[in-house]
A and B are shown apart, each in its own frame.
Chain A
Amino acid sequence: MPYLFNTPEQQQEMLQAIGVDSVEALFATIPSELRLNRQLNIPPALTEMELQTHVSNLAEKNVGPSSRVCMLGGGAYDHFIPAAVDEIARRGEFYTAYTPYQAEASQGSLQTFFEFQSLICRLTGMDVSNASLYEGGTCVSEAAFMAMRVTKRHNRIVLLGSMHPEYRQVVESYLNHLNCEVIVVPSVNGCVDPADVDKAMNDQTACLVIQHPNFFGTLEEAEQLTEIAHKYGALSVVSYDPISLGLLNRPGDYGADIAIAEGQSLGTPLQFGGPYLGLFSCSKKFVRRMPGRLIGQTVDRNGKSCFVLNLQAREQHIRRDKATSNICSNQGLIAIRATVYLSLLGKQGIREVAELSCRKAHYAAEQLSQIEGISLLFNDRPFFKEFVLSCSEGPDYLLRKARQAGFDLGPELSRFEFQTDSETYQTGVLVAITEQRTREEIDRLVMALKA
């Protein structure tokens, strides 16, 4: 049996010390009528060699970006991951450690998370960051709950209809049953009209949630929308693309109160949608109402600088039903990946990745929209690295043709429900271009679609 130690002789010694005559007897407190009197019906045990063959066979039934060109987007992106990220994340000292409750035995994790928090603050221009939440969608729900606590307005939030539809669905699952109205301002032609947002807001609204760049890749008027939120005494919650901040204004610069993101782009592989990384930062004045773990700097009994889990009185293990969130396990190892990734990129690297993605995406959009029957669905809107194509032959035709040539585009907008313009939106297909795509690949796709 793998991973077990005690020999039959040792087991006997141990049973003797305990004073029972069989292992079975240790389970005496489980009433016999509750016992499973048969073996579990699960597949038979495999040796490491057999397991490797089995999992490799399953993996071979999948076709991933390693063998195709990935232009898929919609909240998960094929950015480059430097080898050093994997190297650090594979350190047993990190990945086989627990949550750093025992500070003396966890300074490695604690300092790394403190640096993670610092890097996220620098990236976003916000005052404080927590040590991670689950992923981009639940960040929106956590931000909404926090906004309700801060504003004491518990019955109404406003979202932009250009937000990732899955984020919206998550928020609705979290809030709809709570007598909290979730107002969605429909997007028009790929982004939201600030005048429509102004009409939707009122002085009972806890927050306005803005995704910028939005689900369609389009830029929103984030600064103006933040001002509108503030006019009604609501918090401005901005969901950003962390890579975009190599180029775009930081949420902290235009007054966002809470900045959240899906952090997968920062050095985490696609791995079919998770584990990813929820980034959550906010203004200092709200720190005691934040969800999630926070690492703080302090001194030890000898006056030496060190790090601890801080402000734990907000958390479930202390505050129980009055906690700021139910979150316990977070995404520690993925936060470590992001820390290493941002350290490697540095000031220049993050700008280069952002700029390369942006430039290549614009080249791709320009070239693809010149193909007969293909156009940009939201023609006149500025975008960052992602855009929506519309095909006169329909989205399936476009996806199929690209697929045949070895390219994955998408997701198609018809997967989701949008509250407006749905007929137009039904024809759209998202295309995301990262720094990894080359002009040669883009030209090859154009050729294939022309044929």
Chain B
Amino acid sequence: MRNQLATELLFALSQPGRRGALFPDSDVPEKPLNELIPQSALAAKPTDLPEVTEPDVIRHFVNLSTLNMCVDTHFYPLGSCTMKYNPKRHERLAGLPGIVDLHPYQNPSDLQGMLELLYGMQEMLAEISGLPAVSLQPAAGAQGEFTALLTAKAYFESRGEKRTKVLFPNSAHGTNPASAALAGFDCVQLESSEEGLIDLDDLKSHLDDQTAVFMVTNPNTLGLFEKDIKQIAQMVHDAGGLVYIDGANMNAILGYTRPGDFGGDMMHFNVHKTFTGPHGAGGPGAGPIAVRDFLADFLPGPVIKRTETDSTENQFVLEDPPKSIGRIRTFYGNIGILVRGYCYLRTLGAEGLKAVSENAVLNANYLKVILKDVLPVPNGDLCMHEFVASASKIKSENGITAMDIAKRLLDFGFHAPTVYFPLVVTEAIMVEPTETESKETLDAFAETIRKILKEDPEFLREAPHSTDISRPDEVIAARNPILQCCEPQ
């Protein structure tokens, strides 16, 4: 049961004079503040934060947390998001003194263990991608895309070329066009073929000497491997362009094939997805990029290098690549997430990584097969780590929508799949079970979907029925946005 009192807005819990944290008295000689700071710069009145005790804070946020579904509590088959189990050892190890307390401007000789770890991460990502040069800096996948596009731009400029276009299929994540626009490119969206793959003719008709980069997710957002990827890459390269692989779906192909081997020139990893970051209710992620050797000199600085010196000097150093595009963030990256990714890769090793993809693909195909009579999948026979079903047949028959199914699943203790993405499938239901789920869970999920589809459509339209709230009104929210609980004072 929801604790109504404790989950009131924090501001409603405030009582003048309550304290949640006490600090020692000042131990330095007392001086009037306005001798230290000019009166004009001092605030006229105190910042009006709520006043609550530590027990208030704990009870408030612990109760709020229980209103969430999460990987630790539920099956979370959110397509495109790779909601796999987040190992607890990572939290302990990322919190060790000597990891969690390092200041970014410490003397490098006091950081050799950290730099060794990050260097190891660079090396492993290079091997997994088949692309030799890595930058750990991007904070998330979208920033990885943007960083790689700037890297490509600098590369073309160094060759005296000014290419203006970035191409991507209509099944692309929204970040692809958004990153391309931010990097100052013109965006060209391509149609998909009837199979849900890149349409080679459409691609061909748009490739020219203005093509800078072709961005492609492989496996794509329909969960299908772009079987013509080698030919596609060749076409882009023949036009003088570069191929960018959006690594959001790397969980399908670890150890089976590598972006560098199928024609990619640049890619990003989503460490928070593939290497179980975790997701943190929306972030932080980590979006390191890997690129071909001829792009290495343009990567953002600094990168971590191993030096061949005698033992008196630092073995690991931070260095700016010679023609670097510059900095794309402060300091060196979302290190806390990279440390967790490192722990994951070291736990699994090569065989373990391959087993991850095998079981992710097995789980997805199994779930797809046991659901296909009620939720047909328009594209592809075998899928990779996820599949996109369509509810359009059910919708036309009895009015049940993808959204209704998603919402009703919550009542049965399953998080909803992604719905209405990718845009190329109508009434899309995108399911990614991940490898860290059992056959029993998949069976129970499929059984529940069958049960739901037999329910009264009117009843489904009002689902969920057992959650704390149901179907929030987004139109009202957008018309008159209430974005904080106190009007400006």
Contacts and interface: CB of A to CB of B under 8 A. Distances in A.
Interface residues on A, range: 35 or more
Interface in B459-479: 462, 464, 467-474, 476-478
A152 to B, nearest CB: 17
Contact of A33 (B102, B143, B230): B230
A166 B318 CA distance: 15
Interface string A44-55: 111110011011
B284 to A, nearest CB: 3
Interface residues on B, range: 35 or more
A301 B37 CA distance: 52
A393 interface: no
Contact of A104 (B18, B46, B112, B407): B407
Contacts of A166: 327, 330-331
Contact of B103 (A70, A91, A108): A70
A14 B25 CA distance: 66
Interface string A265-305: 00001111111100000000001000001111111111010
B453 interface: no
A293 to B, nearest CB: 7
B160 interface: no
B449 interface: no
Contact of A13 (B69, B179, B439): B439
Contacts of A343: 10, 20, 49-50, 52, 56-57, 60-61
A298 B482 contact: yes
Interface in A88-119: 88, 90-100, 102-109, 111-115, 117-119
A373 interface: no
A329 B285 contact: yes
Given A118-B486, A351-B46, A35 B330 contact: no
A3 B436 contact: yes
A57 B124 contact: no
A65 B105 CA distance: 12
Interface in A59-77: 59-67, 70, 72, 74-76
Given A317-B421, A321-B178, A328-B175, A6 B359 contact: yes
Given A26-B382, A62-B102, A316-B178, A11 B230 contact: no
A296 B477 contact: yes
B193 interface: no
Contacts of B287: 329
B106 interface: yes
Given A42-B127, A126-B488, A321 B69 contact: no
Contacts of B255: 36, 39-40
Interface string B322-341: 00011111111111110100
A47 B89 CA distance: 11
A299 B473 contact: yes
A308 to B, nearest CB: 5
Interface in A194-234: 219, 222-223
B61 to A, nearest CB: 5
B58 A84 contact: yes
A420 interface: no
B200 interface: no
Interface stretch (B206-214, B275-283, B394-402): B275-283
B103 A250 contact: no
Contact of A93 (B9, B66, B358, B464): B66
B373 interface: no
Contacts of B51: 346-348
B68 A219 contact: no
Nearest to A59: B98
Nearest to A384: B37
B312 to A, nearest CB: 15
A271 B58 contact: no
Contact of A344 (B21, B97, B177): B21
Contacts of B146: 326
Interface string B266-293: 0000001000001111111111000000
B227 interface: yes
Contacts of B332: 272-274
Nearest to B57: A343
Contact of A109 (B9, B281, B362, B476): B281
Nearest to B353: A40
A164 B327 CA distance: 13
Contacts of B362: 6, 11, 14-15, 18, 23, 26
A62 B481 contact: no
A438 B283 CA distance: 35
Nearest to A41: B127
Contacts of B192: none
A118 B485 contact: yes
Contacts of A271: 94, 99-102, 335-336
Nearest to A344: B20
A121 B335 contact: no
Interface in A112-133: 112-115, 117-119, 121-123, 125-129, 131-132
B367 to A, nearest CB: 9
B76 A98 contact: yes
Contacts of B257: 30, 34-36
12 contacts: A31-B230, A55-B117, A58-B117, A76-B104, A93-B65, A99-B279, A104-B464, A170-B326, A274-B335, A306-B472, A308-B472, A359-B36
Given A104-B407, A327-B143, 19 more contacts: A5-B436, A11-B362, A23-B358, A34-B229, A45-B352, A72-B105, A98-B281, A118-B484, A123-B49, A145-B182, A177-B154, A272-B102, A276-B330, A287-B481, A328-B140, A333-B281, A355-B33, A382-B36, A408-B110
Pick the 10 closest A-B CB pairs, nearest first: A273-B331, A61-B113, A45-B349, A59-B98, A333-B280, A332-B282, A92-B72, A275-B284, A273-B104, A316-B178
